[in-house]
Amino acid sequence: MTRHYFCLMNKWYFLLFVVLFSECKNKSDKTKDGNNENETPSYVNALAKQVADKPDSVGLRFNYISALDSTRNYKLALAQIDSLIIKDKGNYALWYKKGQISEHAGDTACAIRYYNSAIGIYPSVDGLLALANLYAETKNPKTLNICQHIDDLGLGREYDSYTAFFAGVFFSRTGNKEKALFFFDKSIANNYTFMESYLEKGYVFFDAKQYEKALEVFKMAAEVKNRFADAYYWQGKCYEALNKKTEAINKYQQALGFNSTLAEAELAIKRLQ
């Protein structure tokens, strides 16, 4: 199962102060995953028409861009954002959204550049967290500076949990197991329902082939959130590494029960049976 990273910043919303509409798409253009215009979901086409009819509607435009992003039509989503930035280069929200879309498209370097542009306009916590996310994954020590800055703001335990998590990811990616575990524990202490901290802590033990310790972490995650499919999947991985096939199959089946899209779990069951 691919270890995916999550986006914390979807919980914050921004007002876009924008005008004018530019339809920057040739009908032969294709989305990143190969879908062409004829395969675009009907609700996205409906939004495009609504925006064309009311080009000055901020809400419609934002909904359209978000729909393009969610359907992986990153090229057109970025074109739409660019057409707005030309008219409003000092708009924090536009640069932040461009960073998000680039991140979703897998263009980490551009995402980092656009998030930096956003916080250069307004150093918001959400922008800083977005940067800490990507800096941690790319082993950039700037992660720690950002996390310390946010901690110094004294925003509360939820933010302390995020910053500890990002610091933990940085140390995990750079091979400092002890510090990684320290910060993941700190993250969990500030928010015991933060599932990603449990997963990353478990990964540290799993990668070190300490499967029993990893198993205990993933079990704890399942106790805190008993329908969290990833916790059962990784328990299965641990049992499989420990050559306990029956237990592994059981956990993979539980994972599929909570998330039927976990193809890795299904393949693991077939492999072990």
Mean pLDDT of 156-179: 98
pLDDT recorded at residue 56: 80
pLDDT tier at 40 (50, 70, 90 boundaries)?
Answer: confident
Domains parsed from the chain with CATH numbers: 41-99 (no CATH), 124-191 (1.25.40), 193-273 (1.25.40.10)
pLDDT recorded at residue 66: 92
Query: For residue 131, is pLDDT > 70?
Result: yes
Query: What is the pLDDT of the chain when averaged over all its residues?
Result: 88
pLDDT recorded at residue 57: 77
Alpha carbon separation from 234 to 58, 143, 193, 205, 240 (Å, rounded): 43, 27, 17, 12, 10
Q: What is the pTM of this model?
A: 0.83
Mean pLDDT of 180-205: 98
How far is it, in rounded angstroms, from Cα 168 to Cα 217? 15
Query: For residue 269, is pLDDT > 50?
Result: yes
How far is it, in rounded angstroms, from Cα 142 to Cα 144? 5
Query: For residue 18, is pLDDT > 60?
Result: no
